[in-house]
Amino acid sequence: MSTNNSELKPQGDLVFALDIGTRTVVGVVGEYIDDKFYLQDYISVPHTKRAMVDGQVEDIKQVAKIVSQVKTQLEEKNGVQLTKVSIAAAGRALKTKQVTMEFDISDREALTEDMVKSMEIETIQKAQSELDSTTTGRTIFYCVGHSIISYKLDDYKIISLEGHKGEKVEIELVAAFLPNIVVEGLYSVMDLNGLEVTSLTLEPIAAMNVIVPPEIRLINIALIDIGAGTSDIAIAKNGSVVAYAMATTAGDEITEEIIRSYLVDFNTAEIIKQSCSNGEKQVEYRDILGNSHTVSTEDITKMLSPAVDTLAETICNAIKEANGDSPSAVFLVGGGSLIEGLTPLVAEKLGIDETRVAIGGGDFLKNVDECGAKLGAEYVTPIGIAVTSMLNQGYDFSVITVNDSKVRVFDTKQLSVYEALTIAGYKSNEIMGRSGRSLSYTLNGVRKTIKGGAMTPAEVFVNERPASIMTKVTQGDRIRITPAMSGQNASAQLSDVLGYERFADGTVTFGGETFAIGLKATVNGEKKDPDYRIQPLDSIETSGIVTFGDLLRVMDAGSEGVEYRVGDNVIDENYVLCDGDVISAYDSYGNIIGNDIPVPQPAMQLAPAAPQAAAEEEAPAAVSGNEPVAPNAIPFNGRGINVEINGEHVTLAPRNGDYILLDLLNSINIDPAVPNSEIILEINGAPANFSSYISDGDRAVIKVQERTGS
């Protein structure tokens, strides 16, 4: 019978912890009093479908359904409405970083708990930065746990820093990181159940805190949490947890071997596997074809021997790699630790006595009162999750709002606006914008470039105040962004750069002869029409007679001492010919010269076949060689500024108001999403940001370079 929520008491100080495994979801509730955890209730509910793979949530809704069953049953049995939860993640795709950091404390009074915590967080951030600098692709990693290897005060090792004074502190720790997809899946399941996550940790850290507490970590101990999908490992020695590792080989490999050998479904295979661990003599089952069978657990164990041997080999190799050698002792926890024959194989492969490998059940729990319950190894981790949350060793996340959508940001990771927007799903061109691609070609052997359209930068506000993409954000901040608009790619037809409309096709008469006039163009050696669209790296060549100077060159005629006219108008070499023109020549006395055009001197050299411009300011790019202007460019009238950006000179058009570094983005092409990179901003050799002012003659740098790490 369901209990009305209005009849339930508030959760208060009651601790609710969930271990969301590949095969089951285990929930525990209890109280933490005087450094001891008192278990009040617990429940385990198996998944009805394979919604988890290798410890990662694959089907969020299905996992949320099982979590709801665990939550509801614990609420009804205990009369408490559960709203806050502690969870842990398996080590799928686990990465670790061991770092050391020094702090100057010479100007401080006695160190407080908050001071020490702040220094630890800063050291974790260093580990995060080092990991980010070596991570390829767009995967984001979150810190899900850390262990202090050592504290040093003025070069002396010390157990606790609180209350001490000195000159310097050194903190050495190992931090564990998981991809955001692993963590986000768990949080999505909690969201669907209305549960606020108060603590997140790594499963082997949780188990270590209740099986191998600090007082026995002087011994070199390996703890292995063997679930269905992963085997998670923690290594302790010299008083500290020094390493974490994982193997994707775990209990499911044994289950799958049973499926293949006995032709059964997954749930039947799980029952057969558990029967071997429960001391039963034989097992009855039906295969997928409907046939009934009875088989002895001894025969099943023999059949599984190679698979169990492989599991033991994989686990032991991971232990040796993380520890550097075989440890002095091993604890096996989790449901997979109960696999028949696993314990002696682990001892054999590590070369240690079998008595030094133990299955860590309730009898081994430290500072835990089971209140009469007899718990097996599968309950160690969920109880450890509860204890870890009370030791303040778990992690929580900050929530940042981006255009009304929530983004989870873990407190150990300092984020800029750019990184938060990336997590929220914005692409680099929406955040930064890009200038349109330029169009480069050659015209009569001269390289020409039409710039792409300018981008419209994004408008970014943090808490309703203007901000840059480099602005740091933290818990509760609200980011509002109007995405950037990338510029249009440069595009042009032959008619855009050659000015066909200014040069007539037709004929003119000169010296008694008729000449065809008009502008002709070839592209890569082929004749093209004016509407041809120019492609990158095209080679354009022009020819034809368009000015009177072109005509004189064709005739190899001179102009000194001769006056040329069209009608009553005197013309010179720059005159643009028109269809039907009749050109007459006059001597110095004003007498018309006949059909034979005099050539007083060879004053003009025969130039390449290209039309001459009527006037420099009116000449087409095809003739004059002037740089063509993109249709969307703003002509510079002398009242803007000239600056240098990445070694190239750029003229910024006139405007009202000041210029800032952001105004130069449309003059360059960069991609800020290059893996392992950071944006470098400088003005005249000094660090700058996008809102820094720039002046005429400044030298600016905007570039992306590979991170160098911390």
pLDDT at 619: 35
Tokens of residue 58, six digits: 């694959």
| pLDDT interval class at 363 (50, 70, 90) | confident
Q: How many CB atoms lie within 10 A of CB 573?
A: 17
The residue that leads in pLDDT, 357 or 658, is 357
Place of tokens 């074809």: 289
Cα distances (Å, whole numbers) of residue 8 to 26, 77, 80: 21, 10, 5
Phi and psi torsions of 272, nearest 5°: -60, -45
Between 80-84, 165-169, 350-354, 398-402, the lowest mean confidence (pLDDT) is in 398-402
Instruction: Parse the chain into domains and list their residue ranges.
Output: 95-390, 397-482, 494-624, 641-706
Q: Which of 365, 329, 371 is nearest to 350 (CA)?
A: 329
Beta strands in 55-110 (DSSP E): 56-57, 84-89, 95-104
pLDDT at 179: 84
The answer as to CATH 3.10.20.30 being correct for domain 641-706 is yes
Identity of the amino acid at 430: E
Tokens of residue 380, six digits: 């160690």
What span, in angstroms and rounded, lies between the C-alpha atoms of 224 and 207? 9
What span, in angstroms and rounded, lies between the C-alpha atoms of 527 and 515? 20
pLDDT at 641: 82
What span, in angstroms and rounded, lies between the C-alpha atoms of 377 and 489? 64
What span, in angstroms and rounded, lies between the C-alpha atoms of 272 and 285? 8
| Per-residue pLDDT tens digits for 137-194 | 667 788 887 888 899 999 999 988 989 988 999 999 988 888 888 888 888 899 999 9
Q: How many CB atoms lie within 10 A of CB 391?
A: 12
Half-sphere exposure of 55 (CA within 13 A, CB side): 30
- Choose the most confident range, by mean pLDDT, from 277-291, 409-423, 556-570, 611-625: 277-291
% of the chain surpassing 90 pLDDT: 22
| Contact in structure between 329 and 219 (CB atoms under 8 Å) | yes
| Contact in structure between 628 and 496 (CB atoms under 8 Å) | yes
Q: 3-class DSSP state for residue 273?
A: helix
Looking at residues 106-120, what average pLDDT do you find? 82
**Is the predicted pLDDT of residue 2 greater than 60, yes or no?**
no
pLDDT at 416: 76
Tell which phi-psi region holds residue 93, choosing left (phi > 0), alpha (psi between -120 and 50) or beta: left
Beta strands in 164-264 (DSSP E): 168-179, 196-202, 221-226, 231-237, 240-247
| Per-residue pLDDT tens digits for 461-503 | 989 898 887 788 877 788 999 888 888 888 989 888 887 777 7
Q: How many CB atoms lie within 10 A of CB 471?
A: 20
Identity of the amino acid at 534: I
Tokens of residue 418, six digits: 């750019």
What span, in angstroms and rounded, lies between the C-alpha atoms of 434 and 251? 51
| Contact in structure between 45 and 116 (CB atoms under 8 Å) | no
CATH class of 95-390: alpha beta
Same topology between domain 95-390 and domain 397-482:
no
| Per-residue pLDDT tens digits for 238-276 | 888 888 888 877 888 888 888 999 999 888 888 888 888
Tokens of residue 642, six digits: 């000239």
What span, in angstroms and rounded, lies between the C-alpha atoms of 512 and 29? 111
| Per-residue pLDDT tens digits for 311-332 | 999 999 999 998 999 999 999 9
The residue that leads in pLDDT, 250 or 393, is 250
**Is the predicted pLDDT of residue 624 greater than 60, yes or no?**
no
Parallel/antiparallel/unpaired status of strands 465-466 and 686-687: unpaired
**Is the predicted pLDDT of residue 609 greater than 80, yes or no?**
no
Q: Output the average pLDDT for the chain.
A: 81
Q: 3-class DSSP state for residue 247?
A: strand
Q: CA 691 from chain center: how many Å? A: 25
| pLDDT interval class at 378 (50, 70, 90) | confident
150: Cβ contacts below 8 Å, ≥ 6 apart = 157, 170, 171, 172, 240
**Is the predicted pLDDT of residue 634 greater than 70, yes or no?**
no
Place of tokens 């293949």: 260
**Is the predicted pLDDT of residue 515 greater than 60, yes or no?**
yes
The residue that leads in pLDDT, 133 or 597, is 133
| Per-residue pLDDT tens digits for 579-606 | 999 998 888 777 887 654 544 433 333 3
pTM: 0.57
What span, in angstroms and rounded, lies between the C-alpha atoms of 108 and 702? 40
User: Nearest 10 degrees: CA dihedral of 483, 488, 489, 494?
Assistant: 180
| Contact in structure between 247 and 239 (CB atoms under 8 Å) | no
pLDDT at 614: 30
| pLDDT interval class at 622 (50, 70, 90) | very low
What span, in angstroms and rounded, lies between the C-alpha atoms of 382 and 19? 5
Say which DSSP state 692 is in. Answer: -
Place of tokens 């005099």: 598
Q: Which of the following CATH numbers is that of domain 494-624: 3.10.20.30, 1.10.3720.10, 3.40.50.10420, 3.30.310.220?
A: 3.10.20.30
What span, in angstroms and rounded, lies between the C-alpha atoms of 667 and 452? 9
Runs of H (alpha helix) within 328-379:
342-350
**Edge-to-edge strand ranges of the sheet holding 686-687:** 648-652, 641-645, 699-706, 677-683, 686-687
Phi and psi torsions of 50, nearest 5°: -80, 80
Identity of the amino acid at 704: V
pLDDT at 43: 93
How many degrees, rounded to 5, is the angle at CA 26 between CA 23 and CA 29?
Answer: 175
Tokens of residue 77, six digits: 């049995």
pLDDT at 16: 95
Determine the length of the chain: 710
Looking at residues 19-30, what average pLDDT do you find? 90
Beta strands in 498-645 (DSSP E): 506-510, 513-517, 520-523, 526-527, 539-543, 563-566, 569-571, 582-586, 592-593, 641-645
The residue that leads in pLDDT, 145 or 307, is 307
**Is the predicted pLDDT of residue 3 greater than 60, yes or no?**
no
Q: What is the CATH number of domain 397-482?
A: 3.10.20.30
% of the chain surpassing 70 pLDDT: 87
Q: CA 85 from chain center: how many Å? A: 29
| pLDDT interval class at 383 (50, 70, 90) | very high
